[in-house]
């Protein structure tokens, strides 16, 4: 227990400092609310409409496809580095088959998105 005493003291002091800072800032801040101060700042442009505007579902579909292909690159780069240094031919063939299956599955996801019209921005659904 004495080994962690210093760490425990630092954790307590950290929480104490954060708490005192938050409470002190709340007590010492000036209170002059106006309508302009309560408005959201959007680069000097006056906000128009409701903040709960609806977005078309195609934006979310494109975002999901972006995440899918972003993950593909995240997995593809380390695979390529490891594939380049692999010495055993059996290991290389196994790695190649695994990556081919992975890329084919992602290509199927791309084709399904294409058939659903995710990439067609001019068409209204």
pTM comes to 0.50
With contact defined as beta carbons under 8 Å apart, do 72 and 35 qualify?
no
**Is pLDDT of 125 > 70?**
no
What is the pLDDT averaged over residues 53-69? 78
Calpha distance 26→47 (Å, rounded): 28
Read off the DSSP letter of residue 3.
Answer: G
- Give tens-digit pLDDT for 65-100: 888 888 888 889 999 999 999 989 999 999 999 999
pLDDT value, residue 116 = 83
| Cα 85 to Cα 67: distance, rounded to the nearest angstrom | 28
């Amino acid at each position: 227990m004495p080994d962690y005493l210093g760490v425990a003291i630092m954790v307590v002091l950290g929480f104490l400092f954060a708490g005192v800072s938050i409470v002190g800032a709340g007590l010492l801040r000036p209170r002059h609310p106006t309508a302009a101060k309560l408005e959201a700042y959007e680069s000097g442009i006056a906000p128009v409409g409701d903040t709960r505007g609806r977005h078309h579902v195609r934006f979310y579909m494109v975002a999901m496809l972006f995440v899918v292909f972003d993950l593909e690159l995240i997995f593809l780069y380390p695979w390529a580095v490891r594939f380049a240094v692999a010495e055993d031919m059996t290991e290389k063939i196994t790695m190649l088959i695994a990556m081919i299956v992975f890329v084919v599955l992602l290509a199927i996801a791309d084709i399904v998105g294409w058939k659903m019209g995710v990439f067609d921005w001019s068409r209204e659904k």
